[in-house]
Amino acid sequence: MEFDFEKVKPAIKLPVLIGIVFVIIYYAVTTATALMASQLAGASGAISLALGVLSYLAFFVLFIWTGWRTVKKFNGAWLEAGTASALASGILVVFHYLVNIVFVAVVYGYLFKNPAAAPTGAFDPLASAGSALAGSLIGLTVLMSTICCIGDLVASVIVNFAIGAVAGYIATGKPKEKPAAKAATKKPARKK
């Protein structure tokens, strides 16, 4: 079996685009939940938990589909399927990291520099810290996000390679025979 990267490249385009949409929706809902924390009366934690679980399930299904699609649509083997899932996962982890950095810099940076503009609720303790902590907290957040991103990247690539490879292996299952071919290969009945 020879690995063909040309089958992997087109196989990851659509899953990466779908994953980018998932990440953007995740941050939009997270931001809306955080900004409306006081109006949600304690439900923001449950919403965040549900969003996290749905996010994991959506990405799990996305990477299974990526492996399956690599085999069925692009005639790849299980190795290309695993590689496509792992590569799509790696790209999405890096995209998620970059969006997280921008999110922290824009949202928290704005709130620290303009504490009066901070809404009550989720950002209230952050806003009360004042603008003196803005640079150091954002820097610390970027550092922690980078460390977590590296670990997340390695784990995600390994796990999603396995997920895509298994989905690809299942997709390469034994092809079904056509009924006419099956009847032609059937042994004639024995006469008594």
**If the chain, 192 residues long, is cut into consecutive pieces of 10 residues, what is the mean pLDDT of each piece?**
86 96 89 75 77 91 96 93 95 90 70 51 45 54 76 92 95 69 62 64
- The closest of 71, 97, 70 to 153, measured between CA atoms, is 97
- CA 159/CA 152 separation, integer angstroms: 10
- Structural domain includes residue 99: yes
Q: Which of 160, 146, 137, 128 lies closest to 63 in space, CA to CA?
A: 160
DSSP three-state, residue 141 = helix
Q: Is residue 180 part of a domain?
A: no
Q: pTM here?
A: 0.73
For residue 92, being part of any structural domain is answered with yes
Nearest to 96 by CA among 50, 58, 137: 58
Q: Is residue 178 part of a domain?
A: no
Note the pLDDT of residue 123. Answer: 46
In a domain, residue 139? The reply is yes
Within a domain: residue 94? yes
DSSP, res 190? P
Q: Is residue 181 part of a domain?
A: no
Radius of gyration of the chain (CA): 24
How far is residue 62's CA from residue 11's CA, in Å, rounded to a whole number? 12
In a domain, 186, yes or no: no
Q: Which two tokens stand for residue 12?
A: 């990851």
CA distances from 44 to 11, 14, 32, 121 (A): 37, 32, 10, 10
Q: Alpha-carbon distance 95 to 31, whole Å?
A: 17
Overall number of domains in the chain: 1
* H-helix or E-strand spanning residue 132: none
**What range does the domain containing 85 cover?**
5-35+42-172
CB 166 within 8 A of CB 79: no
